[in-house]
């Protein structure tokens, strides 16, 4: 019996340790003082729940990453030549799935405060028969490594800082594994993930918001890794590692105060504007959990 794959590689639980080639340039070595914004929203950080059997941290003793460690680390930063996040759909998406991709594009642009563009979809038939398999009637899988290495790594859209492929079909990493949620190369700033298992069998109007929330968490988490953020052990945070869909659902869509400070040191956006934009996005799309979290943060900043 093949083992069930609990390891998320691109979807929230992956943590590729490859270091990007780009280094911080022009950044002083002295650690900047913590701005009042981060001190204020720290009051809304929620303590991580007790780790239980099956959770990501149950079998992985991660030490986390302090702000000082992040600040002194090598990671990409936006430049005039690299400042656009790209999404590349792979497959044949229905109208509800296309809407989720549109909303993910909108979310990532707000979340990172960087221009985000969705490229035209590419067909599944770009994958040869040697890199695909049928595990049951109507259940086809694509080899994740082929999509990552032979397709996505070859793409060089203008001013790309990160590229995330989204496959409609299920993925597998090698023959002996049942499936994988995705793969990523943080060194190359490229990843591919599947929406297949995020959608509880079939995406409908009834489960649309739950599935969208999962996609937003996964997308922001993985691209966060591309900007050098490690898994968070500070609080309940979108950068927490996860072992299952249930654990993903229990994790917050919010970046904790420490991870927000890291991201803002990399991308110097206006924190209040970002927070306000996120609140409006969550309200507009009836994502009540996210809306309540942003409203609470806005309530403590001066």
Query: Looking at the annotation, which residues are catalytic?
Result: 222
Contact present, 36 and 200 (Cβ < 8 Å) = no
Q: Three-state SS for 170?
A: strand
CA dihedral (189, 194, 198, 204) in degrees, to 10, reads 120
Question: Distance (Å, rounded) from C-alpha 80 to C-alpha 70?
Answer: 22
How far out from the chain centre does Cα 259 lie? 14
Contact present, 178 and 172 (Cβ < 8 Å) = yes
| Residue 34 neighbours by CB under 8 Å, 6+ apart | 67, 261
Question: Distance (Å, rounded) from C-alpha 59 to C-alpha 67?
Answer: 24
Nearest residue to 116 via CA among 262, 216, 207? 216
- For tokens 């049928």, what's the residue? 134
Number of other CB atoms surrounding residue 18 within 10 Å: 10
- For tokens 């979310």, what's the residue? 107
Which stretches within the chain are classed as H helix?
A: 36-41, 67-72, 95-112, 144-146, 208-226, 245-250, 257-266, 271-284, 288-300
């Amino acid at each position: 019996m093949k083992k069930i794959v609990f390891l998320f590689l691109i979807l929230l639980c992956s943590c590729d340790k490859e270091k990007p080639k780009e280094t911080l340039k022009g950044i002083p070595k002295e650690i900047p003082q913590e701005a009042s914004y981060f001190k204020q929203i720290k009051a809304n950080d929620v303590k991580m729940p007790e780790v239980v059997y099956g959770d990501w941290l149950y079998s992985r003793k991660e030490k986390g990453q302090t702000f000082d460690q992040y600040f002194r680390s090598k990671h990409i930063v936006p430049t005039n030549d690299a400042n656009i996040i790209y999404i590349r759909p792979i497959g044949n998406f229905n109208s509800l799935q296309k809407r989720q991709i549109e909303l993910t594009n909108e979310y990532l642009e707000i979340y990172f405060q960087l221009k985000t563009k969705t490229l035209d979809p590419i067909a599944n038939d770009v994958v040869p028969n040697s890199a695909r398999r049928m595990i049951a009637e109507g259940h086809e899988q694509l080899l994740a490594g082929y999509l990552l290495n032979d397709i996505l790594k070859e793409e060089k859209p203008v001013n790309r800082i990160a590229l995330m492929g989204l496959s409609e079909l299920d993925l597998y990493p090698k023959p002996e594994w049942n499936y994988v949620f995705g793969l990523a190369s943080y060194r190359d700033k490229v990843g591919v993930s599947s929406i297949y298992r995020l959608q509880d069998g079939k995406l409908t109007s009834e489960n649309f918001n739950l599935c969208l929330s999962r996609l937003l968490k996964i997308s922001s988490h993985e691209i966060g890794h591309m900007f050098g953020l490690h898994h968070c052990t500070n609080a309940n945070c979108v950068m927490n590692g996860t072992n299952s869909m249930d654990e993903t659902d229990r994790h917050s869509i919010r970046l904790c105060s420490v991870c927000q400070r890291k991201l803002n040191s990399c991308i110097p956006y206006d924190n209040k504007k970002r927070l306000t934009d996120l609140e409006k996005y969550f309200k507009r799309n009836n994502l009540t959990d996210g809306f309540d979290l942003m409203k609470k943060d806005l309530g403590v900043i001066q």
